[in-house]
Structure 1
Amino acid sequence: MTNSKGYRRGTRDMFSRPFRKHGTIPLSTYMRVFKNGDIVDIKGHGAVQKGMPYKAYHGKTGRVYNVTPHAVGVIVNKRVRGKILPKRINVRIEHVHHSKCREDFLRRVKENELKLKEAKAKGVYVNLKRQPKAPKPAHFVKQIEEPIQLAPIPYEFVA
């Protein structure tokens, strides 16, 4: 099958179930609540063929724009040649998960609000910007033994 161009070609590992995760789908999958504006990760579930996203959208993150009883509509960015186009796809809920990409941002927003409140009470300026990790401070390295001089062994031709 050298030139096979099937719809699901090249998805042997992509849609396969993880080790010891075959069998019945847990009910918690169907109990998740999706609302318009939620950020979701698309991950095709190999055991459910209905409403499965095309392989190009596997692993992408998008925003929910429509909710139906068994599926959600998601807006996903897709690169088509030189352009990035917002694509609207309908995917069953087995194939989407709530994204954790905003958790760190929301946690930082809460921390910054607390810092700002404390600083305003004291009347002090506080810098809320993230700073890159500083280089390690200067220190002395202890010399345990004398350094050994290493050199390559000269090449000898053995006939």
Structure 2
Amino acid sequence: MRRSRGFRSKTRHKLQKVKRPGRSNPITRKIQSFNEGDLVHIIIDPSIHRGQPHPRFHGKTGRVVGMMGKSYVVALKDGNKDKQLVVRPEHLQMQE
């Protein structure tokens, strides 16, 4: 039988959460808001599957170009190609 090569394959270390005291999913991550033109980091929260981008984009930085429902459209460059991702705010972090 062939092995599965699903959406989260080869992400054993990339999609691990650090154990720490307190809440693992603070509500502030879910209700944070961004404006168009803001630079954001894509940091995937592995405990929330909705609106999660592909793991290849974990750690990348992009620019918010709009909204699509509750999600944000983030434009970034993947190699020489421009891409747009639809990502929920739980997986985004404002660049400081």
Scaled to the shorter chain, the TM-score interval is 0.7 to 0.9
Partner of 1:125: none
Q: Distance in 2 between matches of 1:22 and 1:4?
A: 35
TM-score by length of 1: 0.54
Residues 53, 22 of structure 1: alpha-carbon distance in 2 compared, 3 angstrom cutoff: farther
3-state SS, counterpart of residue 30 of structure 1: helix
- Aligned-residue offset at 1:13: 1.6
Q: Distance in 1 between matches of 2:14 and 2:57?
A: 11
Q: Distance in 1 between matches of 2:45 and 2:54?
A: 11
Conserved? CA contact 1:39–1:64, under 8 Å: yes
> Is 1:87 matched up with 2:83?
yes
- Aligned-residue offset at 1:42: 0.2
- Identity across matched positions, percent: 29
Q: Distance in 2 between matches of 1:42 and 1:76?
A: 10
Partner of 1:135: none
- 1:118-158 Cα distance to aligned partner (Å, 9 max, x none): xxxxxxxxxxxxxxxxxxxxxxxxxxxxxxxxxxxxxxxxx
Number of residue pairs matched by the alignment: 96
Runs of 4+ in 1 over 6 A off after TM superposition: none
- Aligned-residue offset at 1:33: 1.9
Greater relative contact order structure (CA < 8 Å, 6+ sep)? 2
Conserved? CA contact 1:34–1:67, under 8 Å: no
Residue segments in structure 2 that go unaligned for 5+ positions in a row: none
Residue segments in structure 1 that go unaligned for 5+ positions in a row: 101-159
TM-score by length of 2: 0.86
Structure 2 matches for 1:8-157, cutoff 5 A?
8-20=8-20, 24-79=24-79, 84-100=80-96
Matching residue's letter, 1:87 = K
